Every structure is written in structure tokens, then in C-alpha cells.
């Protein structure tokens, strides 16, 4: 299927082509036509499947088709982290290149005054993290009474981060008559219960169960805990194909220690986690995307939903204690159908985590049988996957690009309003 067959208008098709996309991903094929038909959607899609475009394109088309002379906030996208909010804002800018719409992004950790100035000028769509959104609502800077489309993205992470009370307060201010697009990487009972309170007769779309990772080549190293950093540096020095690596640490302090060790070994690296300022996180991401840094070390909360092209390797320095998190992590490579490599380090204390991960995957991760940092204790035998096989299955934020304004209604792109349908 092509994008032309999904029912998108020419201006959106042009922007999609200019972005380098020729064919829609499965989640886009399933979600875009019913979203354009104003259906509520319950979407289950793991990261890297093109989910953002699946809701961004229908939103832009609806807003553009019914825009008046002045912008009115009619679309709200709520997402759990600052980085993900900024990425969604960039997607709206990219896909809305040839439309006359305004959007903004708000999240915490940055000065709210530029965000408020943008909001007072008027926006058609808003991307927000829960904390800053509620703060600005309580101060009378955001009015949700005209919302026509509400998107809740990464709903399972919202619950994991304790945002459920905030989500309920936000939803209580939305019009009852609205379209709701609800996306989650996993669909446990708690998520289905939340979805049931928000959606009306939703169409369910699902792409790849959480136990089915993307096209990622996986390898496992058994190693003593104290040898992990040496193994990491050795891999970096030996294999130049490890060109752009996302390294996962279970803790913030662990991430800092990994970065220090890499820098001391001459490997360019930076960390992103909740203790870093927004400016530091943005600089680290920009340097990693540009290739200036070879390694980005992240905690799970900071990295969930990040969309970074050409990540050659994901390295699980620490195995996650929640098996589904392993799938989310390795999905940071092999984006949108590409291939990638995931390397995992497993020490003695983490072997129980490995058992859970492999039972979720229903297969054994291939072991690297011989390397220079073999563990002091013999690696365990392969576990019986069948005996306990499991069924298939921020704070608030600032502006998207600081924040940035999308294409003005008339005239050339600029940060100023242009005369025309939405004049001064």
C-alpha cells in the first residue's frame, strides 16, 4: 500500500515524500484511514513502528480542513517525557511543512515564559507533558474546552511514571464529544481499564506483540559485574562498526560512571537521565544525532520513545528487571524496518532477569561463547522456556524546538505572523 491510498491530502503527501518515506508502516496503514474517519483508536505498537505519523498526519489533515481565521487549540497530544514531546513537535513541523497551522510544545525543566508567549499568540495543536500542562491550565494559560482530538501516547509509561492522577485531571477538562487516539507499547489490564474510560467504540489496531522484537541481531555476554566497563571499552576499540551506540544503565549514577569510564578511555560519550538539566539532555541528544558523540548512555525513563536514526548498536550494560523493557530497549535500533544489533551483558546477579527475558521472547539469546572477559563462574545452562512460557502478548514540559512555531497561515515560513487567513 502507498501513502496515496490512505486518503491523505496532497500537501501532506508532499511532506511525507520530502521526508524520504515511500510506503506506510503497518501501524500507519491500519490507523490512518480510521483516524481520518474520526474513529477512536486503541493502538498497540512497540517503538520504532512509525506510530507518531499514524496520529500526526490525521490530526494535521483534520485541523487544516476546518481551520478558521484565528488559531484555536483543537488538538492535544499528551506524552510522558520531554524528549518524546520535542520529537512529536518536530514531526508536526515536518509533516505540516506545507500547511498553514500553528503548534507548540510545552514541558517542564525550562523557563515557561517563552511557552506562555507562544500560547497567547494562539495555536491549533499542542504537545505537552502532564506536569507543565496542568500547571499552565491552573494558571489560566491553556483552555481545553475546544479540543476535538486528544492523543494519549505511551500510555503504559504514563502509568509506570505515576501520571494516572494527572491524566484524569486533564481528561476531566476535555469536551465529552471528541476523538481520542490512545497508544501504548503494551496492553496489560490496567491499560485496557484506562482506555475503557476514555474511548468510545474504539477500533483496535496492533502491530507486533511486545514479545516479538524488531529485526535485531541479538548477542549475550556473560561477564563479571566488575568487568563490564572494560568489556564495553574493548568492544568500542575493537569494532569500528559500533559507530553509534545507545547504552542502557539501570541507574542514573551508573550511567554517569559509564560515561566517565568511556571518556577516560578516549570514547566520546554523554548521559541522559532525570538528574540532567533539560539543556544538558538536549545537547547530548544533538551531539549523538550529529555523530559528534559515539555513545549515548541512558536510563530507561530518559530513552523511552526516542527516535534516533542510524543507531548501530544497543548495549544493555545492565539487564532490565522487567522483561518487556528489554524489547523496548532493543527497539531503539532497527528503526522503521531497518536492521540493528543488540549486545547484552549479564552478570551473576542478573541471571534471573535473563530467564524472564528469554521466556518472554520464547527463545534463547545467542551466547558469545568465548571472549576476553569470561565470568569467574561457569555460565548457566539454557533454561527451559516452555515450563513457564508467558502468553503473547515528566514532569511537564517546554517548547518543541524551544518552542518552535510551524508554517504560518500565509506567506513565507517565519517566527512572525503573516497577513492572510490568520492575520495579525
* Assigned C-alpha cell, 166: 494527572
CB-based contact 268:292 (threshold 8 Å): yes
305 Rama sector, left if φ>0, alpha if ψ -120 to 50, beta otherwise:
left
CB-based contact 147:73 (threshold 8 Å): yes
pTM: predicted TM-score of the whole model, two decimal places: 0.67
pLDDT in tens, 13-44: 999 999 888 889 899 999 999 999 999 999 98
Can you give the pLDDT at residue 169? 96
Half-sphere exposure of 109 (CA within 13 A, CB side): 27
Can you give the pLDDT at residue 304? 65
Residues 242, 269: Cα–Cα separation, whole Å? 13
CB-based contact 216:340 (threshold 8 Å): yes
Can you give the pLDDT at residue 337? 56
Whole-angstrom Cα Rg for the chain = 22
Residues 152, 336: Cα–Cα separation, whole Å? 21
Q: Hey, is 308 helix, strand or coil? A: coil
Phi, psi torsion values for 104, nearest 5 degrees = -145, 170
CATH number of this structure's domain 216-361: 3.40.50.300
CB-based contact 86:108 (threshold 8 Å): no
Can you give the pLDDT at residue 41? 97
Residue position matching grid coordinates 534471573:
352
Alpha helices by DSSP H, 96-174: 113-121, 130-138, 155-160, 164-171
Residues 136, 396: Cα–Cα separation, whole Å? 10
Can you give the pLDDT at residue 104? 97
As annotated, the residues of the chain forming the CATH 3.40.50.300 domain(s) are 3-207, 216-361
- Name the residue among 244, 239, 159, 247 with its Cα closest to residue 195: 159
pLDDT by 10s per residue, the chain, length 424 = 889 899 999 999 999 999 888 889 899 999 999 999 999 999 988 666 788 999 999 999 999 999 988 999 999 999 998 888 988 999 999 999 999 999 999 999 889 999 999 999 999 999 999 999 999 999 999 999 999 999 999 998 888 788 999 999 999 999 999 999 999 887 888 889 999 999 999 999 988 655 556 578 999 999 999 999 999 999 998 877 788 899 999 999 999 999 999 999 999 999 998 788 878 888 998 999 888 999 999 988 766 667 777 888 999 999 998 787 888 888 888 665 567 899 999 999 999 999 989 988 889 999 999 899 999 888 877 766 654 433 333 344 333 333 334 444 433 232 323 323 343 2
Can you give the pLDDT at residue 2? 86
* Assigned C-alpha cell, 179: 476523538
Q: Hey, is 45 helix, strand or coil? A: strand
Can you give the pLDDT at residue 336? 53
**What's 381's DSSP letter?**
P
Can you give the pLDDT at residue 188? 80
Q: Hey, is 191 helix, strand or coil? A: helix
Alpha helices by DSSP H, 291-399: 300-303, 323-330, 351-361
- Name the residue among 410, 405, 412 with its Cα closest to residue 120: 405
Half-sphere exposure of 286 (CA within 13 A, CB side): 8
What is the separation of C-alpha 324 from the centre of its chain, rounded to a whole number of angstroms? 15
Residues 328, 333: Cα–Cα separation, whole Å? 10
25, 53, 236 from 17: Cα distances, Å: 14, 13, 36
* Assigned C-alpha cell, 397: 514540559
Phi, psi torsion values for 333, nearest 5 degrees = -105, 175
Q: Does domain 3-207 have CATH number 3.40.50.300?
A: yes
CB-based contact 360:246 (threshold 8 Å): no
CB-based contact 75:101 (threshold 8 Å): no
CB-based contact 123:151 (threshold 8 Å): no
What is the separation of C-alpha 100 from the centre of its chain, rounded to a whole number of angstroms? 26
CB-based contact 367:343 (threshold 8 Å): no
Can you give the pLDDT at residue 56? 97
Amino acid at each position: 500500500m502507498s501513502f496515496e491510498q490512505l486518503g491523505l491530502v496532497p500537501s501532506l503527501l508532499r511532506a511525507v515524500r520530502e521526508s524520504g518515506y515511500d510506503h506506510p508502516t503497518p501501524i500507519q496503514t491500519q490507523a490512518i484511514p480510521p483516524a481520518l474517519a474520526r474513529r477512536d483508536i486503541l493502538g498497540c505498537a512497540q517503538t520504532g513502528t512509525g506510530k507518531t505519523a499514524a496520529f500526526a498526519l490525521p490530526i494535521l489533515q483534520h485541523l487544516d480542513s476546518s481551520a478558521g481565521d484565528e488559531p484555536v487549540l483543537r488538538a492535544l497530544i499528551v506524552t510522558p517525557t520531554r524528549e518524546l514531546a520535542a520529537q512529536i513537535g518536530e514531526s508536526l513541523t515536518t509533516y505540516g511543512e506545507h500547511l498553514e497551522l500553528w503548534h507548540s510544545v510545552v514541558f517542564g525543566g525550562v523557563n515557561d515564559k517563552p511557552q506562555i508567549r507562544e500560547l497567547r499568540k494562539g495555536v491549533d495543536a499542542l504537545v505537552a507533558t502532564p506536569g507543565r500542562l496542568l500547571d499552565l491550565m491552573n494558571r489560566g494559560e491553556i483552555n481545553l474546552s475546544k479540543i476535538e482530538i486528544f492523543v494519549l501516547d505511551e500510555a503504559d509509561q504514563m502509568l509506570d511514571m505515576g501520571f494516572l492522577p494527572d491524566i484524569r485531571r486533564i481528561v476531566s477538562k476535555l469536551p465529552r464529544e471528541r476523538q481520542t487516539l490512545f497508544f501504548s507499547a503494551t496492553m496489560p489490564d490496567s491499560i485496557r481499564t484506562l482506555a475503557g474510560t476514555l474511548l468510545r467504540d474504539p477500533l483496535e489496531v496492533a502491530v507486533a506483540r511486545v514479545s516479538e522484537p524488531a529485526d535485531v541481531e541479538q548477542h549475550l555476554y556473560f561477564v563479571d559485574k566488575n568487568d563490564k566497563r572494560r568489556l564495553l571499552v574493548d568492544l568500542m576499540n575493537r569494532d569500528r562498526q559500533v559507530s553509534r551506540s545507545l547504552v542502557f544503565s539501570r541507574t542514573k549514577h551508573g550511567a554517569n560512571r559509564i560515561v566517565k569510564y568511556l571518556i577516560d578511555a578516549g570514547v566520546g560519550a554523554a548521559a541522559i537521565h532525570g538528574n540532567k538539566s533539560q539543556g544538558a539532555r538536549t545537547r547530548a541528544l544533538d551531539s549523538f544525532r550529529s555523530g559528534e558523540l559515539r555513545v549515548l548512555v541512558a536510563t530507561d525513563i530518559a530513552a523511552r520513545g526516542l527516535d534516533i536514526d542510524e543507531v548501530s548498536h544497543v548495549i544493555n550494560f545492565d539487564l532490565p528487571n522487567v522483561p518487556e523493557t528489554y524489547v523496548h530497549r532493543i527497539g531503539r535500533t532497527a528503526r522503521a524496518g531497518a536492521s540493528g544489533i543488540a549486545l547484552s551483558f549479564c552478570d551473576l546477579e542478573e541471571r534471573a532477569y535473563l530467564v524472564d527475558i528469554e521466556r518472554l521472547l520464547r527463545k534463547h539469546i545467542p551466547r558469545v561463547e568465548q571472549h576476553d572477559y569470561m565470568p569467574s563462574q561457569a555460565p548457566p545452562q539454557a533454561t527451559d522456556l516452555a515450563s513457564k512460557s508467558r502468553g503473547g502478548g515528566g514532569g511537564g514540559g517546554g517548547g518543541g524546538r524551544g518552542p518552535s512555531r510551524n508554517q504560518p497561515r500565509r506567506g513565507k515560513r517565519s517566527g512572525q505572523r503573516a497577513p492572510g487567513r490568520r492575520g495579525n
